[in-house]
Structure 1
Amino acid sequence: MQADPNLYDDWPYMNRPKIVWPGQKKLAFWIAPNIEYYEFMPPVNPKRPGWPKPSPDVVGYSQRDWGNRVGHQRLMELLDRYDLRGSISLNVAMCQHCPEIIEACVARKWEFFSHGIYNTRYSYEMTEAQERAVLEDSIATVLAATGQRIRGYLAPALTHTERTLDLIAEYDFWYTCDLFQDDQPQPIKTKTGKLMSMPYSLEVNDVITYGALAMSAERYADVLIRHFDQLLEEGAESGTVMCIPLHAYLVSQSHRIKAFERALAHITSHKDEVWFTTAVEIAGHYREHCWDQTLADIAGRGLATGGTGFA
């Protein structure tokens, strides 16, 4: 495998064509609640264990189950108070395991995108037929449960094969959340289709902040506010995107939810400058209004390179 997978062109951040979001807004803001299911005894994958501890991990399972039993309701009620819709990063098996959560999101007109079937079923070692089956099941299951044709994809547990992006483009997905290279959308090199990278985040993802970095709730709120303020400032030059990826078993804990609300109050106080939206709406606007100008700018600077995916 070459050192650079050549999934997207080098494209310096400065002096790009200006992105203007609907209503002349500077920043497109979206929230991605991850609604996930972790199997108690997942099948063994040779590249990665299903749980950090040896299975069965009763503690890990029950903590995540608390998110589905209690945390999501608490988070949905908070987002309702600030008139924010979620874009659900969905383990699609949740449509069968917890249909009441799916119904509550549908009632709120939230978006759904695929996060695989289970978060304990990794893409590593999948055959092409198996990966296609996951995509086809995701499309059909979510359509049947919600009436939505999903347009976004986040690989389960951020695991991939060398063909993942080409396949989701082939199945007419509009955006991937699996790349973290930019604060604006960007076309992805795929063999077919029209796939863009959607700014997601590891830096303000609560799994990272509460897990790997062990932040306090107040510190996490401060980080979100600083993150937002910087992107809003830069959005005056060309529209930026901010996403907050969330997991109810973390952010919705009783001792954390009020600090998170403080960050939301700050962010939503900028209604004149911010487009509060969903990922699919951002993708639709970008495809219609920004896609061609981006490719022309990259080509005009002599930055375009050949090939797609992992060569």
Structure 2
Amino acid sequence: MKSDPEYYDYWPYHNRPKIRWPDGKKMAFWVAPNIEFYELNPPVNPNRKAWPQPNPANQGYSIRDYGNRVGHIRQMELLDKYGIRGSISLSTALCEHHPEIIQMCKERNWEFFSHGIYNTRYTYGMSEQQEREMIKDSMETIFKHTGQKCAGYLAPALSHSERTLDLFAEVGTELFGNEGGIYTCDLFHDDQPTPIHLRSKKKFVSVPYSLEMNDTIAFAVNKMEPRRYGKMLQENFDRLYQEADESGTIMCIPTHNYQVSCPHRMKAYEQALDYITSHDDVWVTTGREIAEYYIQHYYDSSVADIKQKQIKFGGR
């Protein structure tokens, strides 16, 4: 039995090689709007129910539909105001259900990365071939509708298997060469990018995507008031910004248009964005740009540093 997931090595945060982002920026900041599609009556998965109540789950479905009808426009206009290009964690069925949303994001040069096909269809119970086909379908759909070669992955509803990262990287290479399948958001172990072990040996990284800053976790799980969430975002930024003096850190705000874009929550969110983007030495960017820059400039030195520390201190 594995004692850990074996995706990455233990690598102490202290005394890593120093990271500086483009133009000498000391910290990277990105926003990841989850733009999702939920089915009212999805196929039954024996490992997880899509809705807590018997069908029809009108309440759960309709608030998520609110996100695509109303909340998306509201958040998009706010990100426009602060010059933030979203990195969309996309349920790719949205390309067929709401192509107008895809078009608005394309016009703003937002990034599209895969969040599976539907957020009500899970990886649990899939064979390797089934999971490969699902990942390939989502990447091909993004390319068909946006022209983008999908770089990142967040498993639908955070469901994944032991094969997920290998399959995503392999399918990305098959479809798009080294431009496809280069990062994951499914690991929450660090505040900097880290090299990930794959059976293909492809250069692949984990880009920090914070569940703690995720609006669904804040509002639906931790039951936070909007003002507390906004303050938490600023406090999280302040700590990472301070530590970035030593080596570049990353802050991500994962959002959902049916959560943070509700009218009573927008003011606190806007105040946090205003505060964060007022810092000139912060790189406001996308998940793909972080992964590409890290792989080009810091991946090899990071792997070398990990190996050196393993030799010095022992362990994997």
Bin for the TM-score computed over the shorter chain: over 0.9
Task: Give the equivalent residue in structure 2 for 1:160.
Answer: 160
Give the % identical residues. 58
Equivalents in 2 of 1:261, 1:116: separation in Å?
29
Normalising by structure 1, we get a TM-score of 0.96
CA positional deviation for 1:217: 0.7
Are 1:243 and 2:252 an aligned pair? Answer: yes
CA positional deviation for 1:55: 2.5
CA positional deviation for 1:273: 1.2
Are 1:123 and 2:118 an aligned pair? Answer: no
Amino acid paired to 1:58: N
Q: Secondary structure at the match of 1:295?
A: helix
Are 1:138 and 2:141 an aligned pair? Answer: no
Aligned with residue 286 of structure 1, among 282, 294, 312: 294
CA positional deviation for 1:56: 2.0
In the alignment, structure 2 segments of 5+ residues that lack a partner are 173-180
Q: Secondary structure at the match of 2:34?
A: strand
Amino acid paired to 2:24: Q
> Could you tell me whether the CA contact under 8 Å between 1:206 and 1:250 is conserved in 2?
yes
Q: Secondary structure at the match of 1:166?
A: helix
Equivalents in 1 of 2:5, 2:128: separation in Å?
19
Normalising by structure 2, we get a TM-score of 0.95
Task: Give the equivalent residue in structure 1 for 2:263.
Answer: 254
Amino acid paired to 1:234: E
Task: Give the equivalent residue in structure 1 for 2:242.
Answer: 233
Task: Give the equivalent residue in structure 1 for 2:4.
Answer: 4
Task: Give the equivalent residue in structure 2 for 1:184.
Answer: 192
Task: Give the equivalent residue in structure 2 for 1:31.
Answer: 31
CA positional deviation for 1:138: 1.2
Equivalents in 2 of 1:26, 1:254: separation in Å?
33
TM-superposition CA deviations, 1:67-117 (whole Å, max 9, x none) = 000000000001111111000000000000000000000000000000000
Q: Secondary structure at the match of 1:251?
A: coil
Paired residues in the alignment total 305
CA positional deviation for 1:5: 1.9
Equivalents in 1 of 2:263, 2:5: separation in Å?
42
CA positional deviation for 1:3: 2.2
CA positional deviation for 1:171: 2.2
Greater relative contact order (CA < 8 Å, ≥ 6 in sequence): 1
Equivalents in 2 of 1:98, 1:109: separation in Å?
18
Cα pair distance change 1:305/1:94, threshold 3 Å: farther
Q: Secondary structure at the match of 1:6?
A: coil
Q: Secondary structure at the match of 1:299?
A: helix
Q: Secondary structure at the match of 1:133?
A: helix
Task: Give the equivalent residue in structure 1 for 2:229.
Answer: 220
Task: Give the equivalent residue in structure 2 for 1:309.
Answer: none
> Could you tell me whether the CA contact under 8 Å between 1:169 and 1:194 is conserved in 2?
no
Q: Secondary structure at the match of 2:310?
A: coil
CA positional deviation for 1:53: 2.1
